[in-house]
Chain A
Amino acid sequence: MHMMRAIKQGQWAVLLWPYLLAISIPLDCRDEQGGLSRCPSISQEKLLDRVIQHAELIYRVSEESCSLFEEMFIPFPLQLQRNQAGYPCITKALPIPSSKSEIQQISDKWLLHSVLMLVQSWIEPLVYLQTTLDRYDGVPDMLLNKTKWVSEKLISLEQGVVVLIKKMLDEGMMTTTYSEQSLFQDDGQPEMLESVMRDYTLLSCFKKDAHKMEILLKLLKCRQNDIYSCA
């Protein structure tokens, strides 16, 4: 049986032998050519640029959604009370460098891993946010679309960071996310105000983390070019 399967697989391999030949010839491509390019893989620089661009977009959209949410639901007096008491950011516990000095000391590997951790830790909360926002009355479609978009792009970003890590660090990736469930807990149906406040906190925290992601990635890029002129 095993032998048969192996033979069948071998048949497929034989059938696909020119295909394999093509694969085995890696072409280093650096030029950008539209259409049917002959480059087997995207270069590291391009990949990093795309990841950074991705992160920028995510940050921008998150900023827009946060301000939208703020206008809609948060009364003015409470707008100044961001991150006060109440609800700390969920990612506070993550071993992510936050100060400038820490960031300068961190290695590339740790940079990437930090970014990946951030991204992975935010995927689920954003999904949750989507559900809670639907429950509210009078939520503008734009806000909903934005949050939806952000959650989608975040997943894409995660993929990109994974690929980047694989390229840069040449290490396989554990696709398993961190145990984010522990960070985020669904407490059921809170009060309206509480829910709103929590959501608001969530959005603002996410906005900050998205900004952090962007910063880290840009620093990484800067390091790629010139290690001494990056701050």
Chain B
Amino acid sequence: MMKKVLEVILLLLLLVFTPHAKGTRYSPPGKPALTRCRSPEKETFTCWWEPGSDGGLPTTYALYYRKESSDTVYECPDYHTAGENSCFFNKNDTSIWVNYNITVVATNALGSTFSDPVDIDVVYIVKPNPPEKVTVTVMEDKGWPFIRVSWEPPHKADTRSGWITLIYEIRVKLEEENEWEMHLAGQQKMFNIFSLRSGGTYLVQVRCKPDHGFWSEWSSSSYVKVPDYFHREKSVWILITVFCAFIFLILTWLLHMNSHSLKHYILPPVPGPKIKGFDKQLLKNGKSEEVFSALVVSDFPPTSSNYEDLLVEYLEVYIPEEQELMLEKSMDLDVSCLKSEGSTSDSDSGRGSCDSHTLLMHKCGVAKEEERQAEEARRHQKDWKEEASTYAHADMVSPDMSSGRVKTWPSVFSPLPRYSSNQQGSLEMAKQHYLSDSLFPPSSKSSYHTQPGHGTTEALGPSYWECGLSNKQPHLLHPEAQAQRQLQAHSHDNISSIGRKQTPDGLHSPALRSTEYVEVQRVNEEDMVLLQPVSGRGDMEGYPQMPHGEDYSKVKGVDRDNMLLLQREVREETENCDTLSTVTTTQKPTACIHSAMPVQEETVLGVNGYIDTATICTLPTC
């Protein structure tokens, strides 16, 4: 009894003093800890613990458990099956109905240490073994290969009866890559993998998990090599691409072959007026004579058919009541003629309505006809082109001489009435053409432009005369062409001779010697002014003598009854006509003009036109 009491006291002392015992090297063991408990099939389970420090002394470990509802403490039945520091619970000891409360105790010579208790519910600690018998095969689906993976659940897990329900997961990767491709397979034991790279080697692994529990470890890798296959879809695309390229090549070739015609179709060349026989090179060379000679067309004047083709409209001559009106209009025409003249220094003017200088002449001429009728008789007619050259010659010879008189040209031009807007335009064109063809010296041209108000009927008359005549009456013009040209030439000469009173005979071509005068005969039904040569008419004063002041028939105007009023003019002295240069000096020019007996031809021309009274200075009083 005493011994027992002593034992108890000793034990108590031990208990009390164990914590205070401060062994330098030895100490009670450290606290162990339960690391994990796992059940592979929900019928058995194993618990592992981690021992703490052993305190330098040999330490033993014991696992005690208690079932949920009872207070009975049991010790682990099996310490060895599952390895070191483990406890294995077999089937008889495992119950899914109750929780387990487990504690590990570490004991050494100096004491015991308890771990923290852990509650275990067997259902929730299930971690199955990895799936078994993983087979991977390559199969084909309409030429496209795929991998079929099949496996079996771990043999311990009772999935057949439904005791455990497992879900599976597969991962795949190419041999040389690092990224895994995961697939969840559910409860099925077979899975297909598509979209494979041809010729690649794949690794496949499978794992499983119960509905409550942990994922198993991955099964060992299964290798599979996908055979090389050709993308059938790709081949179709390649075929289509080749076909399209072929078609494209053919189209390009066709395009190249027809590039010329296509170019013409898409970008039609801009037509430009070409003067037949006009050579740019010659012009560049500076030999205008040659140029002009090249322009000479043997078949000028063109036949009536040509004229009719060329003409867009008929000229309408308008005879105003007042001479001023006529003057104005003539001046306008002059202006327009001059203006257009300036821009026609090149042969390729591109003016549609004035492609033919004949048209231009015509229009100019009609305007002048009213005023220059008096001068008609004395004018010789020439070819337009010859005239142009003549003019050129004349002007070249006497640019200075005519400079002063040249100024009169505008005035000469201006009184011409405007028959109509069209006509004026045509007259302008005619003027331009006339001027361009004649290639007046720049001075003269400029003078024409600068002094639109001036009008000497002298210069204008013939030119207009010729314009109109040549355009409208081809058949009549022929005989008169010479006269016209001569008239013009003559008028030029007159202009020049105004200053000098010389006859630049040399300037004129021999054809100028004989000048014919034409007078307006009548106006036919087409509003064409018909002129007829007049020779030796009494009222035409002034036989065509170049050096002397001569009578020029000028278009006085067009009265309301569409009568072209022509008047003759005898110019004896040029000085008087010098004053014609100024627009304002209407009196003097008129004096000049009127020096000759202003015999008004009573020829009636049915013309329609407009006379700009503002510019006319000479005619009204004549």
Contact between A156 and B214, CB atoms less than 8 A apart = no
B161 within 8 A of A: yes
Contact of B11 among A11, A39, A164 (CB under 8 A): A11
Contact between B101 and A156, CB atoms less than 8 A apart = no
Contact between B162 and A57, CB atoms less than 8 A apart = yes
Contact between A166 and B101, CB atoms less than 8 A apart = no
A225 within 8 A of B: no
Residues of A within 8 A of B68 (CB): 40-42
Contact between A37 and B114, CB atoms less than 8 A apart = no
Residues of A within 8 A of B119 (CB): 36-40
Contact between B125 and A34, CB atoms less than 8 A apart = yes
Interface with B: A16-24, A70-78, A86-94, A110-118, which one? A16-24
Tell me the bound Cα distance from A11 to B163 in angstroms.
Answer: 43
Q: Which residue, of B64, B103, B119, has the highest number of chain A Cβ atoms within 10 A?
A: B119
**A contact face: mostly helix, strand, loop, or mixed:** helix
- Tell me, rounded to whole Å, the shortest Cβ–Cβ distance linking A40 to chain B: 6
CB-nearest residue of chain A to B124: A34
A60 within 8 A of B: yes
Contact between B69 and A23, CB atoms less than 8 A apart = no
- Tell me, rounded to whole Å, the shortest Cβ–Cβ distance linking B407 to chain A: 121
Instruction: List A residues 1-47 near B (Cβ within 8 Å).
Output: 4, 7, 11, 14-16, 18-19, 22-23, 32-42, 47
Residues of A within 8 A of B513 (CB): none
Tell me the bound Cα distance from A61 to B421 in angstroms.
Answer: 119
A97 within 8 A of B: no
B155 within 8 A of A: no
Instruction: List A residues 154-210 near B (Cβ within 8 Å).
Output: 156, 159-160, 163-164, 166
Q: How large is the interface on A (under 10, 10 to 19, 20 to 34, 35 or more residues)?
A: 35 or more
Tell me the bound Cα distance from A56 to B162 in angstroms.
Answer: 9
Residues of B within 8 A of A7 (CB): 4, 8
B212 within 8 A of A: yes
Contact of A163 among B69, B101, B117 (CB under 8 A): B69
Contact between B125 and A57, CB atoms less than 8 A apart = no
Tell me the bound Cα distance from A11 to B12 in angstroms.
Answer: 9
Interface with A: B92-100, B173-181, B480-488, which one? B92-100
Contact between A15 and B112, CB atoms less than 8 A apart = yes
Contact between A60 and B120, CB atoms less than 8 A apart = no
- Tell me, rounded to whole Å, the shortest Cβ–Cβ distance linking B11 to chain A: 6
Contact between A19 and B212, CB atoms less than 8 A apart = no
Contact of B124 among A37, A156, A160 (CB under 8 A): A37
Given A4-B4, A61-B161, are A18 and B11 also a contact pair (CB < 8 Å)?
Answer: no
- Tell me, rounded to whole Å, the shortest Cβ–Cβ distance linking A104 to chain B: 28
Instruction: List B residues 515-546 near A (Cβ within 8 Å).
Output: none
Contact between B99 and A42, CB atoms less than 8 A apart = yes
A-B Cβ contacts below 8 A, count? 88
Instruction: List B residues 74-120 near A (Cβ within 8 Å).
Output: 95-99, 101, 103, 112, 114, 116-120
Contact of B99 among A19, A33, A40 (CB under 8 A): A40
Residues of B within 8 A of A61 (CB): 161
Tell me the bound Cα distance from A47 to B103 in angstroms.
Answer: 24
B36 within 8 A of A: yes
Residues of B within 8 A of A56 (CB): 162
Contact between B212 and A34, CB atoms less than 8 A apart = yes
A149 within 8 A of B: yes
Contact between B162 and A60, CB atoms less than 8 A apart = yes
Contact between B162 and A36, CB atoms less than 8 A apart = no
Residues of A within 8 A of B163 (CB): 57
Given A32-B212, A60-B162, are A40 and B101 also a contact pair (CB < 8 Å)?
Answer: yes
Instruction: List B residues 488-510 near A (Cβ within 8 Å).
Output: none
Residues of B within 8 A of A156 (CB): 95-97
Residues of A within 8 A of B54 (CB): none
B317 within 8 A of A: no
Tell me the bound Cα distance from A160 to B95 in angstroms.
Answer: 8
B460 within 8 A of A: no
Contact between A57 and B69, CB atoms less than 8 A apart = no
Residues of A within 8 A of B4 (CB): 4, 7
Tell me the bound Cα distance from A4 to B162 in angstroms.
Answer: 53
Contact between A23 and B66, CB atoms less than 8 A apart = yes
Tell me the bound Cα distance from A59 to B125 in angstroms.
Answer: 26
- Tell me, rounded to whole Å, the shortest Cβ–Cβ distance linking A72 to chain B: 19
Tell me the bound Cα distance from A11 to B112 in angstroms.
Answer: 13
B15 within 8 A of A: yes
B605 within 8 A of A: no
B217 within 8 A of A: no
Contact between B117 and A22, CB atoms less than 8 A apart = yes
Interface pairs A-B: 5 shortest CB-CB: A160-B97, A163-B97, A34-B124, A36-B118, A22-B117
Residues of A within 8 A of B (CB): 4, 7, 11, 14-16, 18-19, 22-23, 32-42, 47, 50-51, 56-57, 60-61, 149, 156, 159-160, 163-164, 166
* 9 further contact pairs, Cβ within 8 A, besides A42-B99, A159-B95, A163-B97: A16-B114, A22-B101, A36-B120, A42-B68, A149-B161, A156-B95, A160-B95, A160-B96, A163-B69
Could you write out 24 A-B pairs with CB less than 8 Å apart? A4-B4, A7-B4, A18-B114, A19-B103, A19-B117, A33-B124, A35-B124, A35-B125, A36-B36, A36-B37, A36-B120, A37-B99, A37-B120, A39-B121, A40-B119, A41-B98, A50-B96, A60-B162, A61-B161, A149-B161, A156-B97, A160-B96, A160-B97, A163-B69
